[in-house]
Structures are given as C-alpha cells and as structure tokens.
C-alpha cells in the first residue's frame, strides 16, 4: 500500500489590505515535506482554490528562511508544485 500525505497550503495573498502581503510560511511546508519524503511518502499539495500559492515575505528572511526553504526555492520542480496546487475537488478521498 502506498503511503500518502496531503499537504494543505494557502492561496491567500493579502488579506483586506493589499499593502500587507501574506502567504505560505514556506518552511512550515518544507520541514514536513522533507520528513515525509525521507520516509517514502507520496505527497500532494492542495489549496482552497487550487493553483498558485503566494509566499509570505516575512518567511523568506532570517531566521525563518532556513536550509529546507532555501533548497525548495532553488529547485524548479518544487517551486512548480507551488504554482499548480490541486484544489479540493481534484482530490480523491479514497486515495
């Protein structure tokens, strides 16, 4: 049986005020992804609207911008996962 993890991430960029951007705290996803990957899990990213995931600007600075987050951003395949997340209706719960 294949071991799978569904990682839920956000699509929210700014909230009410566009001058205050927000988004995914990348290291929160990269740490979990790394651990599950080491243990052989197949992983999928899902977001409420599907599609692109904005990154929280504050998460891309020290001390939150760590080794796993930097490695993810340097990997075009991983970054592509954040550009094209599945939406909930694309997920088969039996899987």
Confidence tier at 78 by pLDDT (50, 70, 90): very high
The whole-model pTM stands at 0.88
Helices (H) and strands (E) in the chain, counts: 3, 2
- Summarize pLDDT for 20-51 with one digit per residue, the tens: 899 999 999 999 999 999 999 999 999 999 99
* Full set of structural domains in the chain with CATH: 4-90 (3.40.50.880)
pLDDT given at position 1: 76
Residue 85 has pLDDT above 80, yes or no: yes
Instruction: Tell me how far apart the 2 most distant CA atoms of the chain are, in Å.
Output: 47
Question: How far is residue 19's CA from residue 16's CA, in Å, rounded to a whole number?
Answer: 9
């Amino acid at each position: 049986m294949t071991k799978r993890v569904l990682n839920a991430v956000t699509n929210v960029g700014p909230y009410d005020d566009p001058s205050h951007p927000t988004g995914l705290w990348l290291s929160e996803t990269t740490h979990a992804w790394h651990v599950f990957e080491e243990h052989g899990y197949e992983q999928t990213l899902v977001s409420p609207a599907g599609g692109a995931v904005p990154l929280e600007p504050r998460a891309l600075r020290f001390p939150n911008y760590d080794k796993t987050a930097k490695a993810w951003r340097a990997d075009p395949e991983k970054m592509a996962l954040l550009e094209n997340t599945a939406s909930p209706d694309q997920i088969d719960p039996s899987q």
